C-alpha cells in the first residue's frame, strides 16, 4: 500500500501527529509526504518557518516515532504529485480537507487514473473546542497539545449567582484558567419548563450567552415525566457551546417533589415559587435550592448545578474519545 499526504507542517503539534499516524497505520510500503514550498505556504498565512526548517523538523519528528519509509517532496499547489502518480493507493487528509481529496480524485479520473482511497482524520481539538493549529500556537493562545495558555472567556447565560459559581468551580476543578461572567439572556421557553423544554432552554441560554467568548454555558431545570413511576423528576440540564458551534450537554441527578409542590405547579406556579411558599424561604432558588431543603442540606443547589455542568463538560475533558468532523463513508 502506497500512501500520500500533504501539508505545511509549520509548528508540529498533536494534530499533525494524528495525521501522520493515520498515514503510517498498517505498515504501508511507502509514505509520500508533500511539504508546501515557502511561496505556496505564504498564500494562506503571513508567517511560516522556512522550508528547510520545516523539512528538518519533520524528519526528526518521523525518526523519533520510527515512522518509515517516508519520502518528503516539495509541493507548490493543493494536489502536488498526487494527481499524476499512478502508483498511489491512499490519500490521508484532515476532515476539513476532505473536499480537496474528492476534487483530487476527480482530477485523477480526468487523466484516466484510478481514484485514491480517502482516509479522513478527525480534527484534533484544543481545550477551547477549536482545532489545534500552528497559527494559534505561534500567537501564544494554545500549546502544541492544545492546552489553552490564555484564560478561557466563559459566559454563562443567567442572572443566578448559583449557576455562575457552579461554572467557576467546575473550571477550577478541571485546572482550566477561565474568566467566568454572567450574561442576561432570553431562553424562549416557559418560566417553568416541562419535559424537553428544560434541555431546549439550556441550549438556548448557552448559544445566546457566548457572544465574543470562547464558551457559552446554559443551565435550565425542569420537570421531566417518567412513565415508569408515573411522576415527575426535577432534572437540571447544562449545555456548553464553543466558537465552532459545537454543543455538549449533560444533566445532574433527578429527584421527585412532594405532591403539594406538583399541585401548586399545576395551578400555575413555578417550582421556585411553590417551594418558597411551602418553606417560607424567599428566593430559595438562589440559595440552597429545593434540593437543599428536601435533603436537609445534605446536597445544595450549588452541588446539584455543578454536577450538571461537569456532565456537559465530559466530551470536552476526553476530547480524543469524542472526535468529530469525519464525513460518513
Domain limit, last residue, from 138, 171, 189: 138
Q: What pLDDT was estimated at residue 157?
A: 98
Q: What is the CATH number of the domain that holds 72?
A: 3.40.50.620
Residue range(s) defining the domain that contains residue 118:
2-138
Q: Are residues 91 and 206 in the same domain?
A: no
Q: How far apart are CA 148 and CA 161, in angstroms?
A: 26
Backbone angles phi, psi at 175, to 5 degrees: 60, 35
Domain limit, last residue, from 82, 110, 138: 138
In a domain, 160, yes or no: yes
Q: Are residues 133 and 158 in the same domain?
A: no
Q: Are residues 191 and 294 in the same domain?
A: yes
pLDDT digits (tens, 9 = 90+) for 40-55: 999 989 899 999 999 9
pLDDT digits (tens, 9 = 90+) for 240-294: 999 999 999 999 999 999 999 999 988 888 888 898 888 898 888 777 888 889 9
Contact 31, 69 (CB under 8 A): yes
Q: How far apart are CA 36 and CA 75, in angstroms?
A: 5
Q: Are residues 131 and 34 in the same domain?
A: yes
Q: Are residues 176 and 121 in the same domain?
A: no
Q: Are residues 182 and 232 in the same domain?
A: yes
Q: How far apart are CA 194 and CA 115, in angstroms?
A: 52
Q: Are residues 290 and 219 in the same domain?
A: yes
Q: Are residues 42 and 106 in the same domain?
A: yes
Q: How far apart are CA 201 and CA 250, in angstroms?
A: 13
Q: What is the CATH number of the domain that holds 281?
A: 3.90.950.10
In a domain, 146, yes or no: no
In a domain, 145, yes or no: no
Q: Are residues 123 and 203 in the same domain?
A: no
Q: Are residues 156 and 296 in the same domain?
A: yes
In a domain, 291, yes or no: yes
pTM: predicted TM-score of the whole model, two decimal places? 0.83
Q: What pLDDT was estimated at residue 305?
A: 95
Q: Are residues 179 and 235 in the same domain?
A: yes
Residues in the chain, pLDDT under 70: 323-329
Question: How many domains is the chain built from?
Answer: 2
**Angle between helix 271-279 and 259-266 (nearest 10):** 130
Q: Are residues 181 and 122 in the same domain?
A: no
Grid cell at residue 248: 455538549
Q: What pLDDT was estimated at residue 324?
A: 62
Amino acid at each position: 500500500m502506497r500512501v500520500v499526504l500533504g501539508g505545511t507542517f509549520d509548528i508540529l503539534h498533536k494534530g499533525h501527529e494524528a495525521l501522520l499516524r493515520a498515514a503510517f497505520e498498517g505498515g504501508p510500503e511507502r509514505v509520500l509526504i508533500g511539504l508546501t514550498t515557502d511561496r505556496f505556504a505564504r498564500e494562506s498565512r503571513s508567517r511560516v518557518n522556512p522550508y528547510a526548517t520545516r523539512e528538518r523538523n519533520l524528519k526528526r519528528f518521523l525518526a523519533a516515532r520510527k515512522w518509515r519509509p517516508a519520502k518528503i517532496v516539495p509541493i507548490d499547489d493543493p494536489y502536488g504529485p498526487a494527481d499524476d502518480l499512478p502508483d498511489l493507493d491512499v490519500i490521508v487528509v484532515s476532515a476539513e480537507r476532505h473536499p480537496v481529496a474528492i476534487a483530487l480524485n476527480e482530477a485523477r479520473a480526468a487523466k484516466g487514473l484510478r481514484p485514491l482511497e480517502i482516509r479522513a482524520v478527525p480534527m484534533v481539538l484544543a481545550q477551547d473546542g477549536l482545532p489545534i493549529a500552528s497559527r494559534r500556537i505561534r500567537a501564544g493562545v494554545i500549546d502544541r497539545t492544545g492546552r489553552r495558555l490564555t484564560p478561557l472567556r466563559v459566559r454563562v447565560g443567567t442572572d443566578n449567582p448559583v449557576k455562575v459559581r457552579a461554572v467557576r468551580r467546575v473550571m477550577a476543578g478541571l485546572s482550566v484558567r477561565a474568566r467566568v461572567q454572567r450574561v442576561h439572556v432570553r431562553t424562549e421557553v416557559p418560566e417553568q419548563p416541562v419535559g424537553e423544554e428544560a434541555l431546549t432552554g439550556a441550549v438556548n441560554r448557552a448559544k445566546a450567552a457566548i457572544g465574543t467568548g470562547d464558551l457559552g454555558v446554559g443551565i435550565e431545570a425542569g420537570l421531566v415525566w417518567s412513565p415508569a413511576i408515573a411522576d415527575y423528576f426535577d432534572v437540571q440540564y447544562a449545555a456548553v457551546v464553543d466558537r465552532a458551534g459545537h454543543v455538549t450537554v449533560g444533566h445532574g441527578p433527578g429527584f421527585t417533589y412532594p405532591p403539594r409542590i406538583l399541585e401548586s405547579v399545576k395551578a400555575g406556579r413555578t417550582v421556585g415559587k411553590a417551594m418558597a411558599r411551602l418553606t417560607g424561604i424567599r428566593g430559595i432558588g438562589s440559595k440552597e435550592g429545593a434540593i437543599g431543603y428536601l435533603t436537609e442540606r445534605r446536597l445544595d443547589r450549588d452541588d446539584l448545578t455543578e454536577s450538571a455542568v461537569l456532565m456537559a463538560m465530559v466530551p470536552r475533558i476526553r476530547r480524543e474519545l469524542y472526535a468529530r468532523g469525519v464525513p460518513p463513508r
